[in-house]
Structure 1
């Protein structure tokens, strides 16, 4: 494990633990997509090989797997406040909600039936707002963000292909912050756009190169991975707090735990998890 590298973002120092997570002998990570952490500190890794979902204890021991035969193409993952695992199947045009055991709770979308300017056409990511609504970035076939109620009923969509305010070119990730703003990684437009919960445009943060994923902590800080590769830490007002390069080839996904540690899903050729272990506050 690489643990001699320390990175700094603002006043926060992190030790870089790479690779993080112990697999059984003879087993390796497949192509990694995204990563998320539940309320108990369990780390869920979503990968494009079997088993699709790997569950690690907080100290990096593999404790469970699930999802074989369930997914066509792993992309986004989000864990709700009540530890429901929301998984985005990009090529099946579907969102699958699972219990921590892997049992399916519900599905959104029509499996293997892409829709034009409607849910879904190669969706990318999902997040949940404090009111329980779900927001899904629909970014490879469509250029939309869709809102579903907590009951799973479709509410509304916004966006179209383009580079103006409220337009997208590959909306690749979505996050809802404590201020009830919807942040969208507008990848090919090199920006993060911010909206209210009804899809009203607020502003755009432009200082990125192909932003890949977004994670926000309980303090309101926003972390964005991009393809330079690097990790940016932003204030809730959009001020750059710090940047670092803890990965070699780019993190397709980012998550974090209650202790302030960050977890990065690094893409090929490494296909590994990197933990940024918070050293001080």
Structure 2
């Protein structure tokens, strides 16, 4: 875990040797961190200083591939208003798991597929103030919406490979979505598909979209996670190192590195 101030200055780090493949981060209303590690199939509750308070899952012991049981390469965690936990289990499973605040497993739902309640790589998950659960069903190009029992409440299909979601604290009038671009050689250069950021209202209607492929201002290689702070500023994390060869004929990233984090200041 690496901690920066608002200007991007390094403050501290912790967790060296703890995480196998740090993948998802959710900060609760009490400032506790829920760290999803798809490399060792766990979710850890940590203090801001790095003390581990709870571990859900068995480190290094994945559930069988596509079994629907927790976890096989889990991707992200979200808290409901009541404090329940929802975990998207997407790289080696096609499921969402619900846990009580004390870590007791309550229920799971989902299976591979493209129908309602089925998933093709559930990659990110958030809850709104009413307790609805939003899942970025990435490779099905949609965001599915569920109640707290896994019942399907709707879907938004006007997104392209939604990878990252963010809803603000309290009543939030919009949902921020990080979308990946095409990955096949035949359509990599297609415009208006991403990589980009979309801002949707809570009915799924686009309010704003920006981003094209590249490393300039307002451009992206591969938006993978995002967050909005209390001032409305947007932070976008990218898996640029992984994406670079795809867009450069298989060539490795440059020795000086590739940009992986951008900040956008909200105007108005």
Does residue 191 in structure 1 map to residue 142 in structure 2? Answer: yes
Do 2:81 and 2:130's aligned partners in 1 also have CA atoms closer than 8 Å?
A: no
Aligned partner of 1:174 among 119, 125, 128:
125
Partner of 1:273: 261
Partner of 1:244: 210
Gap change, CA 1:247 and 1:74, over 3 Å in 2: farther
Aligned partner of 1:108 among 45, 52, 56:
56
Partner of 1:233: 199
Structure 1 counterpart SS, 2:265: strand
In structure 2, list runs of 5 or more residues that go unmatched: 181-193, 212-217, 242-257
Deviation at 1:267, TM superposition (A): 2.0
Structure 1 counterpart SS, 2:150: coil
Structure 1 counterpart SS, 2:139: helix
For the aligned residue pairs, the C-alpha RMSD in angstroms reads 1.1
Partner of 1:144: 95
Deviation at 1:242, TM superposition (A): 1.2
What per-residue deviation string (whole Å, max 9, x for no partner) do you get for residues 227-263 of structure 1?
1200110101111111111232021100111111110
Matches within 5 A, 1:120-159: 120-159=71-110
Do 1:247 and 1:266's aligned partners in 2 also have CA atoms closer than 8 Å?
A: no
Matches within 5 A, 1:213-228: 213-218=164-169, 219-227=172-180, 228=194
Structure 1 counterpart SS, 2:144: strand
Task: Identify the structure with the greater strand proportion.
Answer: 1
Question: How many angstroms apart in 2 are the aligned matches of 1:275 and 1:178?
Answer: 26
Do 1:178 and 1:220's aligned partners in 2 also have CA atoms closer than 8 Å?
A: no
TM-score (norm 1): 0.79
Question: How many angstroms apart in 1 are the aligned matches of 2:45 and 2:17?
Answer: 15
Do 2:68 and 2:109's aligned partners in 1 also have CA atoms closer than 8 Å?
A: no
TM-score (norm 2): 0.83
Deviation at 1:217, TM superposition (A): 2.1
Aligned partner of 1:209 among 156, 160, 180:
160
Stretches of 4+ aligned residues off by more than 6 angstroms: none
Partner of 2:246: none
Query: Whose RCO is larger (CA < 8 A, sep 6+)?
Result: 1
Partner of 2:232: 260
